[in-house]
Structure 1
Amino acid sequence: MGKLDLVTMIIIAANVIISYKGFSDYSFFEKYKFQVGSVQRGEQIRLFSSGFLHADTQHLLFNMLSLYFFADVVIDLLNPFQFSLIYLGSLLLGSLLSLYFHKNEYHYSAVGASGAVSGIIYSAILLQPGMKLLFFFIPIPIPAYLFGIGYLLYSIYGMKNRIGNIGHDAHFGGAVGGYLITLILSPWLFKTNLLMVVLLAIPIILLFGLKKMGKM
Structure 2
Amino acid sequence: MGKLDIVTIIIIAANVIISYKGFSDFGFFEKYKFHVGAVRRGEQFRLFSCGFLHADTAHLFFNMFSLYFFANVVIGYLGVVSFLIIYVGSLLLGSLLSLYFHKDEYHYSAVGASGAVMGIIYSAILLQPGMSLYIFFIPIPIPAYIFGIGYLLYSIYGMKNRIGNIGHDAHFGGAVGGYVITLILASWLFEENLMMIALLAIPIVLLFVLKKTGKI
TM bracket, shorter-chain basis: over 0.9
Counterpart position of 2:137: 137
**Partner AA of 2:152 in structure 1:** L
Q: Percent identity?
A: 81
Equivalences for residues 47-196 of structure 1 within 5 A: 47-196=47-196
2:139 partner SS: strand
2:97 partner SS: helix
TM-score (normalizing by structure 2): 0.99
Equivalences for residues 198-209 of structure 1 within 5 A: 198-209=198-209
Alpha-carbon distance between aligned partners in 1 of 2:45 and 2:2, rounded to the nearest angstrom: 31
TM-score (normalizing by structure 1): 0.99
The Cα of 1:181 is off from its aligned counterpart by: 0.3
**Partner AA of 2:135 in structure 1:** F
1:140 partner SS: coil
2:140 partner SS: strand
Where structure 2 has 5 or more consecutive residues not aligned to the other structure, the ranges are none
Alpha-carbon distance between aligned partners in 2 of 1:205 and 1:112, rounded to the nearest angstrom: 25
Alpha-carbon distance between aligned partners in 2 of 1:185 and 1:80, rounded to the nearest angstrom: 12
**Partner AA of 1:126 in structure 2:** L
Alpha-carbon distance between aligned partners in 2 of 1:215 and 1:3, rounded to the nearest angstrom: 45
Contact map agreement 1:2 1:70 (CA 8 A) in 2 = no
2:155 partner SS: helix
Taking only aligned residues, the RMSD between alpha carbons, in angstroms, comes to: 0.8
**1:96-117 residue CA offsets vs partner (Å, 9 max, x unmatched):** 0000000110000000000000
Alpha-carbon distance between aligned partners in 2 of 1:136 and 1:114, rounded to the nearest angstrom: 17
Alpha-carbon distance between aligned partners in 1 of 2:205 and 2:11, rounded to the nearest angstrom: 31
The Cα of 1:2 is off from its aligned counterpart by: 5.4
Contact map agreement 1:90 1:115 (CA 8 A) in 2 = yes
Counterpart position of 1:7: 7
**Partner AA of 1:198 in structure 2:** A
Alpha-carbon distance between aligned partners in 2 of 1:165 and 1:128, rounded to the nearest angstrom: 31
Contact map agreement 1:63 1:114 (CA 8 A) in 2 = yes
Alpha-carbon distance between aligned partners in 1 of 2:37 and 2:140, rounded to the nearest angstrom: 45
| Distance change (3 Å), C-alpha of 1:160 and 1:3 | farther
Alpha-carbon distance between aligned partners in 1 of 2:104 and 2:196, rounded to the nearest angstrom: 35
Q: Which moved more, 1:136-145 or 1:163-172?
A: 136-145
Structure 1's consecutive aligned runs of 4 or more residues displaced over 3 angstroms after TM superposition are none
Counterpart position of 1:36: 36
Where structure 1 has 5 or more consecutive residues not aligned to the other structure, the ranges are none
Alpha-carbon distance between aligned partners in 1 of 2:77 and 2:207, rounded to the nearest angstrom: 29
Counterpart position of 1:26: 26
Alpha-carbon distance between aligned partners in 2 of 1:2 and 1:109, rounded to the nearest angstrom: 36
**Partner AA of 2:196 in structure 1:** M
**Partner AA of 1:26 in structure 2:** F
The Cα of 1:88 is off from its aligned counterpart by: 0.3
The Cα of 1:139 is off from its aligned counterpart by: 1.9
